[in-house]
Homo-oligomer: A and B are copies of this chain.
Amino acid sequence: MTGDGRLERYADLVVRVGANVQPGQDVVVRAAVEHAPIAREVVRAAFRAGARHVHAWYADAHLRRAALELGPPEELGWSPPHEVAWLESWAESRPAVISLTGNPEPDLFAGLAGELVARSEQRELRRAWIPLVSERRLNWAIASAPNAGWAREVLGEPDVERLWDAVAAATRLDEPDPVAAWRQHLARLEARAAALDRRRFDAVRFTGPGTDLVVGLAPGSFWRCATFVTETGIEHVPNLPTEEVFTCPDWRRADGSVRSTYPVALPTVGALVRGLELTFASGRVVDVRADEGRELVLRQLETDEQARCLGEIALVDGASAVRRTGLVFRDTLFDENAACHLALGNGLPMAVADVDGLRREELLARGVNVSAMHVDFMVGGPDVDVDGLDRDGHATPIIRDDAWQLG
């Protein structure tokens, strides 16, 4: 990051457009120790936006590596109880939460058994986080923190400056007025969501090499995009970048096969799955194939009994600012905004009418999946067509030749 103020503008974008930190609000910045230079700028931006207390909560993946190599196996995956309790308290204290991604050590778990790595994930922390999001308690955002390790993974060399250029392009930070550019972009995504809602599709079909999959939409689902609103009315943009329109599938309705078009980054496992192919029947994954990392996927699917059903469907075309960088970022935050994607695991009640406050069994009965897991995988790209299906099976093109069709 050169001294042109770009880092400060980026931090302001994350704080003001992303989390939309409110005056007097507390803020938690979740970052890896390697993200410290950027976390500090986000902290400063949060104070500039009027935050009361700002806390940087640093993680260090090397601890997990140490626990895997040297710790007692029966304790793998332990979450510090005081951190779990702290997250649970956020339902009341409602801090703004900003998480930084961009894996500084993509090879840290190389050479370790995938099954062990998956077991070392801090599930209790994830379990505590998910209801905060699904119940819309918090204004939160995820943004990336370019660093040498991630640059090496994306570019083949630790050229952090070039990675910053790509991140700036993907997040519209290179526009003369990034906040105005974001307003326009959000309006364009909202128009797409509105067009999808007008058609009242019953299902979406993906067809392409290795892919022919029909995914049913949850009854009462509607299409959403970048902007979320907390239950107290704070608008925020959880993902920077974001290029998708998305909704909640009916976890009971997915049939066919799908080939992932990008490597799949398993969150918190810090490993990539390559060449993933899934077969669904009546909503459930019934077959898993992968060139690399299959056992990690199997382990994720064992999280709970709903983990092998879908929770998200999202549409992105070739005009995406992320796609136009021409890079594979090896980071879900970016790559899921380069192409259409699905997610296994926890569903999106915020994209379904009249389910607020429903409990697990009630949500499941409404077709909204409930799981402690949520893993995105990309299914779109230049060779994949997307159609909306009416209840009678009539198909309407949504994406053809990588371009959005639906007006």
Contacts and interface: CB of A to CB of B under 8 A. Distances in A.
Given A36-B33, A86-B82, A44 B58 contact: no
Interface residues of A, number: 33
A39 interface: yes
A181 B156 CA distance: 48
A53 interface: yes
Contact of A66 (B33, B43, B67, B71): B43
Copies of this chain present? 2
A80 interface: yes
Contact of A54 (B44, B54, B56, B66): B66
Interface in A33-65: 33-34, 36, 39-40, 43-44, 47-48, 51-56, 58, 60, 62-63
A82 B89 contact: yes
Given A36-B33, A82-B86, A85-B82, A63 B56 contact: yes
Contact of A62 (B43, B67, B83): B43
Contacts of A209: none
B60 A58 contact: yes
A124 to B, nearest CB: 13
A85 to B, nearest CB: 7
A78 interface: yes
A407 interface: no
A75 interface: yes
A72 interface: yes
A58 B40 contact: no
A39 B85 CA distance: 25
A169 to B, nearest CB: 28
Nearest to A83: B82
A53 B58 CA distance: 17
Interface in A72-88: 72, 75, 78, 80, 82-83, 85-86
Interface string A213-235: 00000000000000000000000
B70 A47 contact: yes
B85 A66 contact: no
Given A43-B66, A66-B44, A55 B80 contact: yes
Nearest to A61: B40
A286 B348 CA distance: 66
Nearest to A80: B55
A60 B44 CA distance: 13
Contacts of A36: 33-34, 60, 62
Contacts of A44: 66, 69-70
Query: 9 closest Cβ contacts across the A-B interface?
Result: A47-B70, A58-B58, A82-B86, A40-B62, A33-B36, A33-B33, A44-B66, A47-B71, A43-B66
30 contacts: A33-B33, A33-B58, A34-B36, A36-B62, A39-B60, A40-B60, A40-B62, A40-B63, A40-B66, A43-B66, A44-B70, A47-B66, A47-B70, A47-B71, A51-B71, A52-B71, A52-B72, A52-B75, A53-B71, A53-B75, A54-B66, A54-B71, A55-B80, A56-B63, A58-B58, A58-B60, A82-B82, A82-B83, A82-B86, A82-B89
Given A51-B71, A56-B63, 8 more contacts: A33-B58, A44-B69, A47-B71, A53-B71, A54-B66, A55-B63, A56-B60, A58-B58
